[in-house]
Amino acid sequence: MTLNTADWLILITYFVLSAAIGIYYTRRAGKSIAEYFVSGRALPWWLAGTSMVATTFAADTPLAVTGLVVKYGVAGNWLWWNLALSGILTVFFFSRLWRRAGVVTDVEFAELRYGGKPAATLRGARALYLALPVNLIIMGWVTRAMATILEVGFGMSGWRVAVVLFAITAGYSILSGLWGVVVTDFFQFIVAMGGCIVLAVLAVNRIGGLDRLVALAAGHYGSKQAAVGVLPPLHGGWLPLSSLVVFLAVQWWAAWYPGAEPGGGGYVAQRILSTKDERHGLLATLWFNIAHYALRPWPWIVVGLFAAVSYPGLANPEHGYVRAMVDLLPSPLRGLMLAAFAAAYMSTISTHLNWGTSYLVNDFWLRFVRRGAGDREQVLVARVATVALMLLALVVMRFLGSVEAGWRFLFALGAGTGSVLILRWYWWRISAWSELAAMVASFVTAVGLQTFGHLSASDATGGSYAAVMLITVGVTTAAWLVATFVTRPESDATLDRFYRQVRPGGPGWRRVATRLGFGADTIPGGALSWMNWVAGWVAVYAALFGIGQLLVGTFRTGVAFLFIAVVAFALIARNLRRDPALRAVDSARGIP
């Protein structure tokens, strides 16, 4: 696919605007580490939430979703749809607690919640683990996906152009810190989604309409249910019941995955920590989950169905998306689509560079190497560390395979850690040793099962994925429970300091709350938080399924699902208005 003058003008315009935004925020980001990594805690909810969505929309995501749809039908997306349960849990149970914690990174939280050398060890170990192997793997597979798009779709030297894009992204990330990242994310998300919607419309037009696409997909998969049903056929389908049960009953709370951490964390926590107050942090996370799960997937799914019926027998199903681009896009839409993928790629890379650097600088260098550094020196080190991360990611990207396999591997690697990451907020007895044991047990068990146990986390159809997940969760849970009860609890001084600042409430902290004179403190939001959690995931799934039913021609069912979503969102809005803690936040900011 070749580009003409109009295509290049669109691309040049996109890159100029992205660079201008980054340069504009350079001076502000250079003031301090707080400005560089958490935007001076001044982000509005809509900007922070959209930045979360943009970060999770990388060049790899449409390819991975297309691969899932081509192989398994629409229901193949339960690999990640199940995580909405965890995301909504973060909205109503953890977003306000993160904002109250007031740390710069989620790893720094370790020395707020725990004390002594175990807390310092946990902070340093987790900082290096997330900043280097985990972060580099993610940046590597995202860059591999971008290289594939450039090579297969545009006949370019994929790796060379991807490296240039990486360098441009690193450039404005180094200069502008999180301010430049989130503002360019907002612009880039609009460009990226616009391009994907255009491609989906062209795919539907080429095939002869949505009804025709559904009919052809039903023939290809054997039935309409197998093709576009939100749940796969349990008899003779691709997904064993064991794997489906793991997705819906275990994975969402037990497995740690970037962007969907149980209890929040990573760049989701970073955006929450960057917001103006607790209300903005909650709304940012709610908007992220709505857009991420309910609104964003359908243009990719439509193209995935088109690829399944138009290119049967592709060696790599993920390439179906790129083939559709090649066959459907005229100029100047080719330039728009390339700009869309560049935007998706750059928004993810910029976040991971800034996020990974925050661990290296705030939680390792400033904590263990040079604690007395001034603001200017801290920012300088952050910029140097960003360059180092960029160079390491370019090395790692050469050794990665498919995106779906990478997703599954990280799910398995973090299996079992989710429970301790949730309970550390709501049970005083969790200690730094609990988290350390969970990290080690999860890593050793997942790698051991796949290396020596001949079980593969990449195998969705044979049940191996469910086995890896369940065994790892069991071993990890046993390990951290044993570590919790055979080691000494955190000191009263440490627990009191944490409770005064965060006020998590609930029965798990009753002894501490009583000692401090807070009495029977409830969790933030009280019983309304439980109601909001149920209403939240009902709303997200109802919106997701409703949009899907409208697209496949089941009008009445689609409208019914969307009505349920509207009622659930209205209930959440009413409950938030009744929440006394949020009313107090609004009153403090002069909002009636």
| pLDDT band for position 218 (cuts 50, 70, 90) | very high
Contact call for residues 9 and 331 (beta carbons, < 8 A): no
Between 282 and 25, name the one with better pLDDT.
282
Contact call for residues 314 and 70 (beta carbons, < 8 A): yes
pLDDT value, residue 489: 95
Give the chain's mean pLDDT. 85
Does the pLDDT at position 233 exceed 70?
no
The string of pLDDT tens digits covering residues 62-85 is: 888 998 899 888 988 887 898 899
Token pair listed for 504: 């998590």
Tell me, yes or no, if the pTM score tops 0.95: no
Residue among 258, 180, 206, 257 nearest 18 (CA)? 180
pLDDT value, residue 399: 63
Does the pLDDT at position 299 exceed 80?
yes
Q: What's the whole-number mean pLDDT along residues 553-571?
A: 94
Does the pLDDT at position 401 exceed 80?
no
Quote the percentage of the chain above a pLDDT of 90. Answer: 42
Q: What's the whole-number mean pLDDT along residues 473-486?
A: 94
Q: Is 415 helix (H, G, I), strand (E, B) or coil?
A: strand
| pLDDT band for position 592 (cuts 50, 70, 90) | very low
The string of pLDDT tens digits covering residues 164-177 is: 777 777 777 777 78
Does the pLDDT at position 586 exceed 90?
no
Task: Enumerate helices (H) and strands (E) in the chain, giving the number of each.
Answer: 32, 0
The string of pLDDT tens digits covering residues 480-508 is: 999 999 999 999 999 999 999 999 999 99
Does the pLDDT at position 27 exceed 70?
yes
pLDDT value, residue 579: 84
The string of pLDDT tens digits covering residues 405-421 is: 555 566 666 777 889 99
Q: What's the whole-number mean pLDDT along residues 466-489?
A: 90
| pLDDT band for position 96 (cuts 50, 70, 90) | very high
Quote the percentage of the chain above a pLDDT of 70. Answer: 90
Name the burial class of residue 302, with classes exposed (0-12), middle (13-18) and buried (19+) by CB atoms within 10 angstroms of its CB.
buried
Contacts of 365 (CB under 8 A, 6+ apart): 381, 385
Dihedrals phi, psi of 8, to nearest 5 degrees = -65, -35
226-230, 286-290, 518-522, range with greatest mean pLDDT: 286-290
Note the helical H segments in 57-157.
Answer: 60-72, 78-81, 84-89, 95-101, 110-113, 116-129, 135-148, 154
pLDDT value, residue 1: 64
pLDDT value, residue 571: 96
Note the helical H segments in 503-526.
Answer: 510-516
Give dist(CA 488, CA 206) in Å, integer. 66
| pLDDT band for position 144 (cuts 50, 70, 90) | confident
Q: What's the whole-number mean pLDDT along residues 423-430?
A: 96
Q: What's the whole-number mean pLDDT along residues 308-315?
A: 90
The string of pLDDT tens digits covering residues 347-390 is: 888 888 888 888 988 898 889 988 877 777 878 888 888 888 87
Residue among 189, 541, 562, 262 nearest 419 (CA)? 262
